[in-house]
Amino acid sequence: MKKLLLSTFLFMFAIMTPIGFVSADQAAAPLHEEGFEGAIASTLYTLNTPYGTLTKEANQVIAGTGSIKGLSARGTQWAEYASLNKRVQLTAGKDYTISFKYRILEQEGNFFYFYMKQQVNGADVTSGFNFKSGGTIPYRAELAADQVRLTEKDGYWLAEASFKAAGDGLYNMLWGIQDGGVIVIDDVLIKEGKLPVMVNKTAAVAIEGFESGDLTKTSFQALGSGALVQQAKAIQGKYAVGASATVQQEWHEFLATDPAKLELAANTVYTVMFKYKVVQPEGQDSYFYVMAGTGDQSKAMNFGSSAAPIWTNVDAAEVADRGTYKVAKMTFKTGSTPDMQVKWGIRKGGAIAIDDVSIVKGKASIPTQEGPHIGYANVVDYGAVPNDGQDDTVAFQQAIATGKSIFVPAGVYHIEES
């Protein structure tokens, strides 16, 4: 733990923490793929002397038994070591993605490059990109930023570029080195389709108020009757998630975290907090619920119109009445696998709206005040206590999650370093 001596000031920064990326595989079968397992003569590729060779050395090969190796000395300006010269027929107007694995064995003097050349309407057209150690792309030709991607893998990098074929659809594809360096490439693949959109997966959710008006832009997904509602049914702002169920529906889930965008860490304490408004009161044997996990290992809290949980199997669950709506929180610990979803549901009838959902690591308190500060959030309202010697990390996280500037009263606060 680290002690911070803070005087009154304002600051703001983001709480959402990227832990990785996910993307859908392209469905189309490859038009071309080459792993360089045999002799170069058995492939469609040309190696350019003296820069390109086929290496079989185990400490250089990326995958399988062979990779193409490019090598040039400092001072050599354009050393093209491998080419795929008009050997793959593409269709003009269609989108394609080319990918290849690479590993840099000796740092570049200037950069490595991949280019595609062809003639369109009698004019030479070149597209491609330069790349360097550490996954940087200093230059792109005829390709937008979202059309080129370098991703670090286990022991190599994956380069991907998408483009729209033009002209006769025949390209001279070139790999080279500018001003020296050593590199190996492997597993070249060409597929029809654009480069998949990458989704930033997070380990926590700052306050989500659904104000984008599009659930696909959040870390949540609608289930059952769950849908965005507006205006009168919303709790704050323009949107909330609303749902209803009949008495015949015993278990009706309407909202869940999206596992493709939010991955809760294993064996970790989390607090989920949200505002809700009961649109149609629950019946005598019915209730609303929030649940983390499934089956006997699930952690849950049942709640309704009253200002207290109806039932829970967690140590810390609470409901606070704010007059026109309520604030609920549940603190739970995840299991041994990082695949736990948080879900909201209705049992045997009722209607509800959910808004301003947050999921943060650690224990957290329901703010003692709602919206008294215009433009900023006071960490004390979220449970931080100056000079008490206790951990204030979660209180700071909750205040930061509001997206406002943060007000920190003078004193000593204990914040865990990360």
State how far the Cα of 226 lies from the Cα of 119, in Å rounded to an integer.
53
pLDDT value at position 403? 64
Phi/psi of residue 217, each to 5°? -95, 10
- As annotated, the residues of the chain forming the CATH 2.60.120.260 domain(s) are 24-192, 201-400
- For the stretch 351-367, pLDDT in tens is 999 998 988 877 777 87
- For the stretch 217-267, pLDDT in tens is 898 999 999 999 987 778 878 899 999 999 999 999 999 999 888 888 888
Q: What is the mean pLDDT of residues 51-67?
A: 97
Q: What is the mean pLDDT of residues 140-169?
A: 92
Flag whether the pTM goes above 0.85: no
Residues 132, 183: contact at Cβ < 8 Å?
A: no
- Range in 93-97, 192-196, 305-309, 408-412 the model is least confident about: 408-412
In this prediction, residue 204 has a pLDDT band, given cuts at 50, 70 and 90, of: low
pLDDT value at position 361? 79
State how far the Cα of 216 lies from the Cα of 354, in Å rounded to an integer.
16
Phi/psi of residue 395, each to 5°? -60, -45
- For the stretch 31-48, pLDDT in tens is 999 999 999 999 999 999
Question: Homologous superfamily of 24-192 in CATH?
Answer: Galactose-binding domain-like (2.60.120.260)
Residue 126 has pLDDT above 90, yes or no: yes
- pLDDT mean across residues, the chain: 85
Q: Please tell me which residue, 10 or 116, carries the higher pLDDT value.
A: 116
Q: What is the mean pLDDT of residues 105-132?
A: 93
Please report, rounded to a whole number, the percentage of residues in the chain having pLDDT higher than 90: 57
- For the stretch 301-338, pLDDT in tens is 999 999 999 999 998 999 999 899 999 999 999 887 76
CATH level 3 topology of 201-400: Jelly Rolls (2.60.120)
Residues 355, 210: contact at Cβ < 8 Å?
A: yes
State how far the Cα of 245 lies from the Cα of 288, in Å rounded to an integer.
10
Residue 185 has pLDDT above 90, yes or no: yes
Helix (H) or strand (E) holding 395: helix 393-400
State how far the Cα of 411 lies from the Cα of 407, in Å rounded to an integer.
12
In this prediction, residue 25 has a pLDDT band, given cuts at 50, 70 and 90, of: very low
Q: What is the 3-state secondary structure (H, E, C) of 164-181?
A: ECCCCCCCEEEEEEECCE
In this prediction, residue 377 has a pLDDT band, given cuts at 50, 70 and 90, of: confident
In this prediction, residue 205 has a pLDDT band, given cuts at 50, 70 and 90, of: low
Residue 122 burial (C-beta neighbours within 10 Å; 0-12, 13-18, 19+): exposed
Residue 299 has pLDDT above 90, yes or no: yes
State how far the Cα of 194 lies from the Cα of 187, in Å rounded to an integer.
19
In this prediction, residue 417 has a pLDDT band, given cuts at 50, 70 and 90, of: low
Q: Report CA 363 to chain centroid distance, whole Å.
A: 24
Residues 118, 125: contact at Cβ < 8 Å?
A: yes
In this prediction, residue 122 has a pLDDT band, given cuts at 50, 70 and 90, of: confident
Residue 6 has pLDDT above 50, yes or no: no
Please report, rounded to a whole number, the percentage of residues in the chain having pLDDT higher than 70: 85
pLDDT value at position 373? 46
pLDDT value at position 411? 78
What's the token pair of residue 329?
A: 């929180």
Q: Please tell me which residue, 402 or 267, carries the higher pLDDT value.
A: 267
pLDDT value at position 370? 53
In this prediction, residue 28 has a pLDDT band, given cuts at 50, 70 and 90, of: low
- Range in 130-139, 187-196, 227-236, 278-287 the model is least confident about: 227-236
Residues 345, 251: contact at Cβ < 8 Å?
A: yes
pLDDT value at position 201? 58
